[in-house]
């Protein structure tokens, strides 16, 4: 069953060790800016040992910047994502997400973690499952750098078997550097979002570089 839109309910509808990063440029007409594609591969079966969830184990991540400036994000999992993914005991949410590390010199402090520790991504796009429904969101963490609050915006997503996709509109992220680090990840929240109660399932040992 296909799942799409920014929210879906049951009532309704990294690069690891040895990973490879590639990029390609899709064909375009003479008056059109071509799509730019960056892809990372990751070995199957490399999730953290406490996890036995192939639907959280990605083998391919992809970021495409379209001619319009939108970012199309894709993750291919080892197994299809279930209609009702099981939550391990104590887990509140599962996230499939992509990070945008737009400035290696900054580490915003705060959401979706606590303020005590700075973390690199200025932008996060994720799909979450909380045991009842899926939802897609983007987190703009850049305001945290000047004492503001992170901006959370619903974004469209699509899950079809092993393929997890999300679209980030250009107006939500604005201008970005010509090259930046990015990566796909999956993890579980055992504490509330905004805490440090998080455990990675599959993650990038080193960010990919776009493009």
- Residue 26 belongs to what H/E stretch? none
Q: Are the C-beta atoms of residues 41 and 188 closer than 8 Å to each other?
A: no
* DSSP string covering 63-109: EEE-TTS-EEEEEEESSPPPSSPPPPTT--EEEEEEEEE--TT---B
What token pair was written down for 23?
């990029």
38-55 per-position pLDDT tens digit:
999 998 988 876 667 899
Write 135-143 long-range contacts (CB < 8 A, 24+). 135/6, 135/7, 135/8, 136/5, 136/6, 136/7, 136/166, 137/6, 138/168, 138/172, 138/173, 139/111, 139/112, 140/172, 140/173, 141/108, 141/110, 141/111, 142/102, 142/108
pLDDT band at 33 (very low <50, low <70, confident <90, very high): confident
CA–CA separation, 32 vs 61, rounded Å?
25
State the average pLDDT for the chain. Answer: 86
Residue 178 sits in a domain of what CATH number?
Answer: 2.60.40
Q: Is the pLDDT of residue 135 over 80?
A: yes
Q: What is the pLDDT of residue 21?
A: 41
Task: Give the CA-trace dihedral at 104, 168, 134, 21, to 10 degrees.
Answer: -50
Q: Residue 148 sits in which domain range?
A: 2-210
CA–CA separation, 122 vs 140, rounded Å?
6
DSSP annotation of 178 reads: S
CA–CA separation, 66 vs 27, rounded Å?
11
Q: What is the pLDDT of residue 48?
A: 74
Residues paired with 40 in a beta bridge: 21, 61
Residues paired with 202 in a beta bridge: 186
Q: Are the C-beta atoms of residues 82 and 94 closer than 8 Å to each other?
A: no
- Asked whether the bond before 112 is cis by omega within 30 degrees of 0, the reply is yes
pLDDT band at 2 (very low <50, low <70, confident <90, very high): low
Q: Is the pLDDT of residue 59 over 70?
A: yes
Counted domains in the chain: 1
Residues paired with 129 in a beta bridge: 94, 134
Q: What is the pLDDT of residue 72?
A: 98
């Amino acid at each position: 069953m296909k799942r799409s839109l920014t929210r879906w309910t049951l009532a309704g509808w990294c690069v690891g060790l040895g990973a490879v990063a590639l990029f390609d440029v899709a064909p375009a007409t003479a008056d059109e800016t071509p799509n730019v594609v960056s892809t990372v591969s990751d070995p199957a079966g490399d999730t953290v040992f406490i996890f036995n969830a192939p639907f959280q184990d990605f083998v391919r991540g992809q970021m495409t910047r379209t001619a319009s400036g939108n970012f199309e994000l894709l993750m291919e999992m080892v197994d299809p994502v279930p209609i009702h993914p099981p939550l391990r005991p104590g887990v509140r949410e599962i996230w499939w997400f992509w990070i945008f590390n737009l400035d290696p010199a900054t580490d915003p402090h705060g959401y979706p973690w606590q303020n005590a520790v700075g973390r690199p991504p200025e932008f996060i796009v994720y799909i979450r499952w909380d045991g009842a429904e899926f939802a897609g969101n983007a987190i703009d963490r850049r305001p945290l750098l000047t004492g503001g609050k992170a901006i959370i915006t619903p974004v469209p997503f699509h899950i079809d078997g092993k393929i997890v996709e999300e679209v980030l509109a250009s107006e939500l992220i604005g201008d970005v550097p010509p090259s930046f680090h990015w990566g796909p990840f999956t993890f579980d929240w055992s504490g509330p979002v905004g805490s440090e109660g998080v455990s990675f399932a599959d993650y990038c040992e080193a960010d990919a570089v776009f493009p």
